[in-house]
Structure 1
Amino acid sequence: MASTSSQYHKLDLVSHLFCTVYLIPISFCTMKWSPQDAMKAYLHTLQLSKIQYGQDCTLGTTKLIQPQCMEFLSALAAGNQAKVMVQVLSNEGVNPLTIALAVAAKHCGGRFICFLDQQQDIEDCTAQLSCYDLEDVVEFMHGNPCEVIIQLKNIDFAVIDCKFKDHLRLFQIIDVNPRGSIAVVTNLVRKGNGAGFGEVVREKRGIECVTLSIGEGMELTRIGVTCNHENKRFYVTSEN
Structure 2
Amino acid sequence: MKLIWSPEMASKAYIDTVASCKKLHKESGVAELVSAMAAGWNTRLIVETWSSGGATATSIGLAVASHHTGGRHVCIVPDHKSKSEYMEALGETDENVEVVVGEPEEGVEELTGIDFMVVDCRSKDFDKILRSAKLGARGAVLVCKNASSRMSLSFRWRSVLDAGSRRLVRSAFLPVGRGLDIAYVASISGSSSTSKGKSRWIKHVDQKSGEEIVIRK
With normalisation by structure 2, the TM-score equals 0.75
Instruction: State the SS of the aligned residue for 2:48.
Output: strand
2:43 partner letter:
A
Distance in 1 between the 2:29 and 2:152 partners? 28
Distance in 2 between the 1:190 and 1:141 partners? 26
* 2:68 aligned with 1:107: yes
Q: In the TM superposition, what is the alpha-carbon distance from 1:195 to its structure 2 partner?
A: 1.0
* 2:169 aligned with 1:197: no
Distance in 2 between the 1:207 and 1:78 partners? 19
Gap runs ≥5 in structure 1: 1-29, 56-66, 227-240
Q: In the TM superposition, what is the alpha-carbon distance from 1:147 to its structure 2 partner?
A: 1.1
Q: Which stretch of the first structure deviates more once superposed, 67-76 or 197-206?
A: 197-206
* 2:63 aligned with 1:97: no
What do the CA deviations read for 1:193-237 (whole angstroms, capped 9, x no partner)? Answer: 4415355336853431111111111111000149xxxxxxxxxxx
Corresponding residue of 1:207: 169
1:159 partner letter:
V
Corresponding residue of 1:44: 16
Does structure 2 conserve the Cα–Cα contact (< 8 Å) formed by 1:87 and 1:158?
yes
CA RMSD for the aligned pairs? 2.5
Instruction: State the SS of the aligned residue for 1:136.
Output: helix
Distance in 2 between the 1:177 and 1:39 partners? 24
Q: Which stretch of the first structure deviates more once superposed, 189-198 or 107-116?
A: 189-198
What do the CA deviations read for 1:127-180 (whole angstroms, capped 9, x no partner)? Answer: 3322xx212101111110111211111101000101110212112221111321
Corresponding residue of 2:192: none
**Structure 1 pair 46–173 and aligned structure 2 pair: CA distance change class (3 A):** same
Higher relative CO (Cα under 8 Å, sequence separation at least 6) belongs to 1
2:184 partner letter:
R
**Structure 1 pair 139–33 and aligned structure 2 pair: CA distance change class (3 A):** same
* 2:113 aligned with 1:154: yes
Instruction: State the SS of the aligned residue for 2:127.
Output: helix
Higher radius of gyration, 1 or 2: 2
What fraction of aligned residue pairs are identical, expressed as a percent?
Answer: 29
Does structure 1 conserve the Cα–Cα contact (< 8 Å) formed by 2:25 and 2:57?
no
What do the CA deviations read for 1:13-55 (whole angstroms, capped 9, x no partner)? Answer: xxxxxxxxxxxxxxxxx61222222111100111123222589
With normalisation by structure 1, the TM-score equals 0.68
Distance in 1 between the 2:55 and 2:152 partners? 29
Q: How many residues align?
A: 184
1:1-240 correspondence to structure 2 within 5 Å: 31-53=3-25, 68-93=29-54, 95-118=56-79, 120-130=81-91, 133-188=92-147, 189-190=149-150, 193-201=153-161, 204-225=166-187
> Which has more strand, going by share of residues?
2
**Structure 1 pair 124–216 and aligned structure 2 pair: CA distance change class (3 A):** closer
Distance in 1 between the 2:78 and 2:183 partners? 25
